[in-house]
Amino acid sequence: MVERADDDPRLTAARYRVEKAAQDNGEEQPAEPERHAGTPTGTERAMYVETAIQQAIRRGEFDDLPGAGKPLEGLGGSHDPDWWIKRKIQTEQLSGLGPPALRLRIEHAEFEDRVDALHREEDVREYTADFSRRVVEARRQLQGGPPVVTPTRDPDAEVAAWRERRAARAAASDPPAAPQTKRRRWRRR
Protein backbone atom coordinates (compact mmCIF):
# COMPACT_ATOMS: atom_id res chain seq x y z
CA MET A 1 0.00 0.00 0.00
CA VAL A 2 1.40 3.40 -0.98
CA GLU A 3 1.18 5.98 1.79
CA ARG A 4 0.24 9.53 0.82
CA ALA A 5 1.65 12.61 2.54
CA ASP A 6 -1.82 13.45 3.85
CA ASP A 7 -2.01 10.07 5.57
CA ASP A 8 1.21 10.58 7.55
CA PRO A 9 0.22 11.88 11.01
CA ARG A 10 3.67 13.36 11.59
CA LEU A 11 3.44 15.53 8.49
CA THR A 12 -0.12 16.50 9.34
CA ALA A 13 1.03 17.55 12.81
CA ALA A 14 3.94 19.52 11.37
CA ARG A 15 1.65 21.22 8.87
CA TYR A 16 -0.76 22.11 11.71
CA ARG A 17 2.09 23.65 13.75
CA VAL A 18 3.20 25.79 10.80
CA GLU A 19 -0.33 27.03 10.19
CA LYS A 20 -0.87 27.72 13.92
CA ALA A 21 2.42 29.66 14.16
CA ALA A 22 1.45 31.72 11.14
CA GLN A 23 -1.96 32.55 12.69
CA ASP A 24 -0.39 33.50 16.04
CA ASN A 25 2.07 35.87 14.34
CA GLY A 26 -0.64 37.49 12.24
CA GLU A 27 0.79 36.21 9.01
CA GLU A 28 -1.33 34.88 6.23
CA GLN A 29 -1.48 31.19 5.61
CA PRO A 30 1.50 29.92 3.66
CA ALA A 31 0.49 29.15 0.11
CA GLU A 32 0.67 25.51 -0.76
CA PRO A 33 3.42 25.25 -3.38
CA GLU A 34 2.99 23.01 -6.37
CA ARG A 35 4.58 19.70 -5.69
CA HIS A 36 4.42 16.10 -6.57
CA ALA A 37 2.08 13.94 -4.56
CA GLY A 38 3.73 12.70 -1.38
CA THR A 39 6.64 15.18 -1.46
CA PRO A 40 6.84 17.29 1.72
CA THR A 41 7.81 20.95 1.53
CA GLY A 42 10.97 22.29 3.14
CA THR A 43 9.00 23.69 6.06
CA GLU A 44 7.31 20.35 6.62
CA ARG A 45 10.65 18.58 6.57
CA ALA A 46 12.10 21.08 9.04
CA MET A 47 9.16 20.65 11.38
CA TYR A 48 9.41 16.87 11.13
CA VAL A 49 13.11 16.96 11.98
CA GLU A 50 12.50 19.32 14.89
CA THR A 51 9.72 17.06 16.19
CA ALA A 52 11.96 14.00 15.93
CA ILE A 53 14.75 15.80 17.82
CA GLN A 54 12.39 16.94 20.59
CA GLN A 55 11.00 13.42 20.98
CA ALA A 56 14.52 11.96 21.16
CA ILE A 57 15.43 14.52 23.84
CA ARG A 58 12.35 13.54 25.89
CA ARG A 59 13.26 9.85 25.57
CA GLY A 60 16.78 10.66 26.83
CA GLU A 61 18.62 9.49 23.73
CA PHE A 62 21.03 12.43 23.93
CA ASP A 63 21.95 11.83 27.58
CA ASP A 64 25.45 10.59 28.41
CA LEU A 65 26.93 11.24 24.97
CA PRO A 66 30.74 11.28 24.79
CA GLY A 67 32.01 14.82 25.26
CA ALA A 68 28.90 15.97 27.13
CA GLY A 69 29.64 19.07 29.19
CA LYS A 70 32.98 19.67 27.48
CA PRO A 71 33.69 22.70 25.31
CA LEU A 72 33.66 22.21 21.57
CA GLU A 73 37.14 21.89 20.15
CA GLY A 74 38.29 24.59 17.78
CA LEU A 75 35.91 27.33 18.90
CA GLY A 76 37.38 30.67 19.81
CA GLY A 77 40.77 31.97 18.86
CA SER A 78 41.53 33.18 15.39
CA HIS A 79 40.29 31.62 12.17
CA ASP A 80 42.86 29.47 10.40
CA PRO A 81 41.96 28.60 6.80
CA ASP A 82 44.07 25.44 7.03
CA TRP A 83 42.40 24.12 10.18
CA TRP A 84 41.02 21.02 8.48
CA ILE A 85 44.33 19.75 7.16
CA LYS A 86 46.09 20.47 10.45
CA ARG A 87 43.41 18.56 12.37
CA LYS A 88 43.62 15.63 9.93
CA ILE A 89 47.40 15.47 10.26
CA GLN A 90 47.12 15.63 14.05
CA THR A 91 44.32 13.08 14.47
CA GLU A 92 45.80 10.61 11.99
CA GLN A 93 49.32 11.25 13.33
CA LEU A 94 50.60 11.70 9.81
CA SER A 95 54.14 12.87 9.24
CA GLY A 96 55.88 14.02 6.11
CA LEU A 97 52.58 14.95 4.46
CA GLY A 98 51.07 18.26 3.60
CA PRO A 99 52.36 21.47 2.11
CA PRO A 100 55.95 22.43 2.94
CA ALA A 101 54.74 25.44 4.93
CA LEU A 102 52.81 23.23 7.36
CA ARG A 103 55.58 20.66 7.65
CA LEU A 104 58.06 23.43 8.46
CA ARG A 105 55.72 24.94 11.07
CA ILE A 106 55.44 21.57 12.79
CA GLU A 107 59.20 21.06 12.65
CA HIS A 108 59.72 24.60 14.00
CA ALA A 109 57.46 23.81 16.97
CA GLU A 110 59.44 20.61 17.69
CA PHE A 111 62.84 22.15 16.89
CA GLU A 112 64.28 22.22 20.42
CA ASP A 113 63.28 18.60 21.11
CA ARG A 114 64.89 17.47 17.86
CA VAL A 115 68.07 19.42 18.55
CA ASP A 116 68.26 18.18 22.14
CA ALA A 117 68.25 14.60 20.84
CA LEU A 118 71.53 15.27 19.00
CA HIS A 119 74.81 14.52 20.79
CA ARG A 120 77.43 16.55 18.92
CA GLU A 121 77.77 20.25 18.26
CA GLU A 122 78.52 19.60 14.57
CA ASP A 123 75.22 17.71 14.25
CA VAL A 124 73.33 20.65 15.78
CA ARG A 125 74.97 23.08 13.35
CA GLU A 126 74.27 20.79 10.39
CA TYR A 127 70.62 20.26 11.33
CA THR A 128 70.07 24.00 11.93
CA ALA A 129 71.66 24.92 8.60
CA ASP A 130 69.57 22.28 6.81
CA PHE A 131 66.38 23.54 8.45
CA SER A 132 67.11 27.16 7.47
CA ARG A 133 67.95 26.07 3.91
CA ARG A 134 64.60 24.26 3.60
CA VAL A 135 62.72 27.33 4.94
CA VAL A 136 64.38 29.61 2.37
CA GLU A 137 63.72 27.07 -0.39
CA ALA A 138 60.04 26.82 0.58
CA ARG A 139 59.71 30.61 0.50
CA ARG A 140 61.01 30.66 -3.07
CA GLN A 141 58.45 28.10 -4.25
CA LEU A 142 55.28 29.61 -5.68
CA GLN A 143 53.16 26.47 -5.72
CA GLY A 144 50.22 27.80 -3.77
CA GLY A 145 49.12 26.61 -0.38
CA PRO A 146 49.62 28.44 2.87
CA PRO A 147 52.37 31.05 3.10
CA VAL A 148 55.70 30.12 4.66
CA VAL A 149 55.97 32.17 7.86
CA THR A 150 58.49 29.94 9.63
CA PRO A 151 61.63 31.86 10.64
CA THR A 152 65.11 30.65 9.82
CA ARG A 153 67.44 29.62 12.66
CA ASP A 154 70.94 30.89 13.42
CA PRO A 155 73.34 27.94 13.92
CA ASP A 156 75.51 29.79 16.48
CA ALA A 157 72.52 30.83 18.60
CA GLU A 158 71.05 27.32 18.44
CA VAL A 159 74.34 25.73 19.49
CA ALA A 160 74.58 28.12 22.45
CA ALA A 161 70.99 27.34 23.49
CA TRP A 162 71.65 23.61 23.03
CA ARG A 163 74.70 23.86 25.35
CA GLU A 164 72.67 25.72 28.01
CA ARG A 165 69.83 23.19 27.95
CA ARG A 166 72.30 20.33 28.05
CA ALA A 167 74.14 21.85 31.04
CA ALA A 168 70.83 22.48 32.84
CA ARG A 169 69.75 18.87 32.30
CA ALA A 170 73.11 17.59 33.52
CA ALA A 171 72.92 19.75 36.65
CA ALA A 172 69.36 18.61 37.34
CA SER A 173 70.16 14.93 36.93
CA ASP A 174 73.29 14.89 39.11
CA PRO A 175 72.36 14.29 42.76
CA PRO A 176 74.01 16.67 45.20
CA ALA A 177 77.15 15.18 46.70
CA ALA A 178 76.69 14.22 50.34
CA PRO A 179 79.51 15.23 52.68
CA GLN A 180 81.75 12.27 53.32
CA THR A 181 82.48 11.30 56.88
CA LYS A 182 85.46 9.37 57.98
CA ARG A 183 84.80 5.77 58.68
CA ARG A 184 86.49 3.92 61.43
CA ARG A 185 88.03 0.79 60.33
CA TRP A 186 87.86 -2.09 62.65
CA ARG A 187 90.46 -4.71 62.46
CA ARG A 188 90.13 -8.22 63.46
CA ARG A 189 92.86 -9.60 65.55
- Provide the pLDDT for residue 125: 93
148 with 135: CB under 8 angstroms? Answer: yes
- Provide the pLDDT for residue 171: 87
| Cα angle, residue 97 at apex, residues 93 and 102 outer, rounded to 5° | 95
The predicted-structure confidence for 132-159, as pLDDT tens digits, reads as follows 999 998 888 776 677 888 899 999 999 9
The predicted-structure confidence for 88-138, as pLDDT tens digits, reads as follows 878 887 777 677 888 888 889 899 999 999 999 999 999 999 999 999 988
The predicted-structure confidence for 29-86, as pLDDT tens digits, reads as follows 656 656 666 788 888 899 999 999 999 999 998 888 888 888 877 676 777 777 787 7
Mean pLDDT of the chain: 81
